């Protein structure tokens, strides 16, 4: 397989907050609008802002500037060669393979990637044991790869995001899977798997200031262990059931070794917003007669993704009204609204958020005790008929579905670096009529 990506980037940005790069400060050190030159500060009885950047003045739209334009181009080429074989011997099954990758982008990497999978079938007990290993090449995301790699050499971007130029080579991952499949008679099958993903030069996304421009960054390494369990019951007198549950820990380890960013240097291990201790989905369906309506029910439970932006309650008080209302921030019996944010909360007053689990003051830890989305239970129900008129060649079907049956208000994520803030789907009722031929 050969891939050739012609990558062209045209980004534009400008400062629209008059306080972001204000030349002057008032007597208490707060930035002031209306000034465009540090020489204007002292005559007006103000202070010069020591953090003022003359480099950013030309792109300050509040002071007569214009948008900064970034143009970048590169070619990303990748050649992959792969050979594999499957061998069966008695109760043993082997899948063997090796892949070779030749990657040429803004960095170049050559890598051989062996893969092996082994399964053993214990027929008397209806058990299958399996284990696998794969070495994979981890290449940077193409989206805004040029600005991420070369941005530190651009004065305007370097002034916005202080960074150390870093362009590390592509990373690699060692991935292990171990699991079993167990049948209990004809009516229950359990498939369980544990996995480990250890990545060197682990890629992630960051965002350029308060813009929609996202770009890849590169951490020293990551560790992602987790498990997945699936239990299914085939049709038993019209009743079927399926349960899927999983857990994933997504731990990333500084320093940042590639891409724009203020995190280049030392730091502590942290969990990204893919990390969730537990989630499960249960699906039940019952059809009393072979020809007739069926009834379905879903139950989804999530313990909550990491929400790293809400470090503590004091941090939540700095959010704007919309953000505070989204998480349900409260102090005593007073809740933040879209027009009235909370700015303080008296000591000893019960406080928190109804849609975010905020760590107690002084207990937040990016690895051991990160803030998380509050746990939630969601329910769906449906009823349908797959052959309304019992036709032979042509069939009519009818289905009515209720999503989020209890109209639960809950967050999926909050101020995620890449995807922002999302609420779960509100209650929705749908009817579907189908004609099959």
- Look at residue 375 in the predicted model and tell me its pLDDT: 97
pLDDT (0 to 100) of residue 258: 84
Q: In terms of domains, do 97 and 9 share one? A: no
C-alpha–C-alpha distance, residues 181 and 129, integer Å: 7
Q: Of 29, 48, 70, which residue sits at a domain end?
A: 70
Kindly give the pairing relationship between strand 329-331 and strand 294-302: unpaired
Specify the pLDDT at position 151.
87
Residues 32 and 145 in one domain: no
Same domain, yes or no, for 164 and 200? yes
Shared domain for 23 and 134, answered yes or no, is: no
CA dihedral 51, 53, 56, 62 (to 10 degrees): 60
Q: Is residue 127 assigned to a domain?
A: yes
On whether residue 322 sits in a domain, the answer given is no
User: Do 232 and 167 share a structural domain?
Assistant: yes
Radius of gyration of the chain (CA): 28
162 lies in the same domain as 249: yes
Is residue 312 in some structural domain? no
What is the C-alpha to C-alpha distance for residues 86 and 97, in angstroms, rounded to an integer?
9
**CA nearest neighbour of 351 among 326, 359, 423, 337:** 359
Give the end of a domain, one of 267, 283, 298: 267
Residues 58 and 104 in one domain: no
pLDDT given for residue 90 in this prediction: 94
**Same domain for 98 and 60:** no
185 and 123 housed in the same domain? yes
Place of tokens 């499957």: 86
140 shares a domain with 62: no
The greatest distance separating any two alpha carbons of the chain, rounded to the nearest whole angstrom, comes to 92
pLDDT reported for residue 235? 87
Last residue of a domain, which of 267, 298, 322?
Answer: 267
Helix (H, G, I), strand (E, B) or coil at 368: coil
CA–CA distance, 257 with 148 (Å, rounded to integer): 12
As a whole number of angstroms, the distance between CA 381 and CA 286 comes to 12
The reply to whether 12 and 157 lie within a common domain is no
What is the predicted pLDDT for the residue at 170? Answer: 85
> Distance between CA 418 and CA 204 in Å, rounded?
9
CA 49 – CA 33 distance, rounded (Å):
12
> 88 with 45, same domain?
no
pLDDT for the residue 167? 67
The tally of domains found in the chain comes to 2
State the residue range of the domain holding 52. Answer: 2-70
Residue ranges for the chain with pLDDT beneath 70: 164-168, 262-266, 418
Residue 122 domain-assigned (yes or no): yes
């Amino acid at each position: 397989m050969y891939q050739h990506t012609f990558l062209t980037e045209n980004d534009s940005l400008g400062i629209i907050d008059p306080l972001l790069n204000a030349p002057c400060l008032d007597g208490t050190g707060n930035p002031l609008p209306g000034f465009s030159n540090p020489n204007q500060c002292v005559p007006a009885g103000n202070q010069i802002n020591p953090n003022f950047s003359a480099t950013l003045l030309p792109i300050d739209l509040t002071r007569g500037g214009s948008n900064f334009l970034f143009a970048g181009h590169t070619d990303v080429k990748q050649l992959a060669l792969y050979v594999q074989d499957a061998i069966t011997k008695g109760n043993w099954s082997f899948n063997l393979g090796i892949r070779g990758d030749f990657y040429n982008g803004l960095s170049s990497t050559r890598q051989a990637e062996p893969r092996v999978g082994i399964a053993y079938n214990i027929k008397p007990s209806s058990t299958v044991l399996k284990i696998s290993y794969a070495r994979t090449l981890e290449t940077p995301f193409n989206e805004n790869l040029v600005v991420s790699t070369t941005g530190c050499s651009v004065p305007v971007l370097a002034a916005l995001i202080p960074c150390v130029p870093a362009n590390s080579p592509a990373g690699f991952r060692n991935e292990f899977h171990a699991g079993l499949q167990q049948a209990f008679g004809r009516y229950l099958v359990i498939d369980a798997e544990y996995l480990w993903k250890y990545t060197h030069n682990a890629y992630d996304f960051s965002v350029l200031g308060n813009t929609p421009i996202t770009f890849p960054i590169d951490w020293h390494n990551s560790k992602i262990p987790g498990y997945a369990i699936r239990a299914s019951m085939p049709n038993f007198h019209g009743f079927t059931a399926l349960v899927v549950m999983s857990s994933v820990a997504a731990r990333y380890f500084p320093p940042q070794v590639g891409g724009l960013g203020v995190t280049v240097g030392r730091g502590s291990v942290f969990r990204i917003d893919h990390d969730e201790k537990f989630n499960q989905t249960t699906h039940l369906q019952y059809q009393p007669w072979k020809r007739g309506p069926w009834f379905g029910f879903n139950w989804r439970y999530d313990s909550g993704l990491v929400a790293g932006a809400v470090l503590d309650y004091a941090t939540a008080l700095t959010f704007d009204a919309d953000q505070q209302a989204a998480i349900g921030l409260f102090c005593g019996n007073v809740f933040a609204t879209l027009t009235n944010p909370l700015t303080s909360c008296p000591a000893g007053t019960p406080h928190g958020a109804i849609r975010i689990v905020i760590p107690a003051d002084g207990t937040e830890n990016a690895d051991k005790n990160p803030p998380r989305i509050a746990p939630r239970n969601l329910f769906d129900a449906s009823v349908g008929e797959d052959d309304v008129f019992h036709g032979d060649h042509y069939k009519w079907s009818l289905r009515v579905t209720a999503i989020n049956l209890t109209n639960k208000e809950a967050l999926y994520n909050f101020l995620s670096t890449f995807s922002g803030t999302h609420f779960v789907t509100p209650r929705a009722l749908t009817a579907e009529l189908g004609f099959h031929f």
